[in-house]
Amino acid sequence: MPDADDILERKNFYLEVPQTCKAFALKGSNALDWGMKNRLARVFSPDDCRTVMLAVDHGYFQGPTTGLERIDVTICPLIPYADALMITRGALRSTIPPEIAKPVVLRSSGGQSILKELSNERIAVDIEDAVRVNASALAVQVYIGGVHEHESIGNLVEIVNAGNRHGIPTMAVTGVGKELARDAKYLGLATRICAELGANFVKTYYCERGFAAVAAGCPVPLVIAGGKKLPEIDALRMAYRAVSEGAAGVDMGRNIFQCDAPKAMIQAVRAVVHENETPERAYDLYLSLKSAGEGSELCTAKTQLR
């Protein structure tokens, strides 16, 4: 039987130290529940509230995209350099070893192909399956101004509600059809609507004129899409301008995995996003790593994912 007489005397309650509760620094996220904040802190570095996401979900409507023919061969070597991986559940289960210690942003809408109207999507993952694969966030496409605008907004609302019930954040992805201009007016409209309807962060495009206003007008973090393949220096300049004007990072795919040296490129992008490196110095880093043979080797070994 323990001696209860001196229990209080032996304890240290640090009476001189007030209990504190640090504010959650990520934009628009301080009022969220603990689980939501914890998952967002996996996607966005707590050090600078920025992220370098690697987008490899293109196959959900494009099929075997160039550079993604064999995700297990071409993408696995890049995972250690990414803050998060955006991927479909099918590719995740079939090609990505579960030993990876990176958060998954799970593609959760789909239902169309490049042969049909792109905005005609539906919810493609139920929340229970997202929980089973330990998703850190759910990604859903929203087509403001598209043929199926109403349906895509409905998808977003359903995903947000399901995510809120289980503590999983939602990333809205602003889909822009060929007939819509990617200017500040449109992007400001689309991103604000997504945030107002509950998205915890939004993936959108960078525009050269007015992007700072787009970012300021969206009350949650923006991450920019890489879009079509650009020359490496141009992709680095786009990333630099975006984060300098208020973006919380990038979600790049083709501008990384379609490079001659993908591993070198993702490290150069990281230098821009997390170290505020200039595009020119980041490009020098890319060339240096490329010339040293860093970036083009292939890998299937699980040990290289640690």
Q: Which residues are catalytic?
A: 203
Q: Which two tokens stand for residue 98?
A: 């579960």
If 0-12 CB within 10 Å is exposed, 13-18 middle and 19+ buried, where does residue 178 land?
Answer: exposed
Residue (of 77, 78, 108) closest to 90 by Cα position: 108
Please name which of 83, 82, 79 lies closest in space to residue 91, comparing C-alpha atoms: 79
Angle at 106 between CA 105 and CA 108, to 5 degrees: 135
State how far the Cα of 72 lies from the Cα of 91, in Å rounded to an integer.
9
Based on C-alpha coordinates, what's the Rg of the chain? 21
Give the count of beta carbons closer than 10 Å to the beta carbon of residue 111: 16
Strand ranges (DSSP E) for 50-169?
A: 51-55, 84-87, 104-107, 109-110, 122-123, 137-142
Q: How far apart are CA 169 and CA 167, in angstroms?
A: 7
Residues in the chain, total: 306
The set of residues, in sequence order, having a beta carbon less than 8 Å from that of 260 and lying 6+ positions away, is: 290, 295, 296
3-state secondary structure 260-283: CCHHHHHHHHHHHHHHCCCHHHHH
Phi, psi for 56 (deg, rounded to 5): -135, 30
Structure-token pair, residue 90: 């099918």
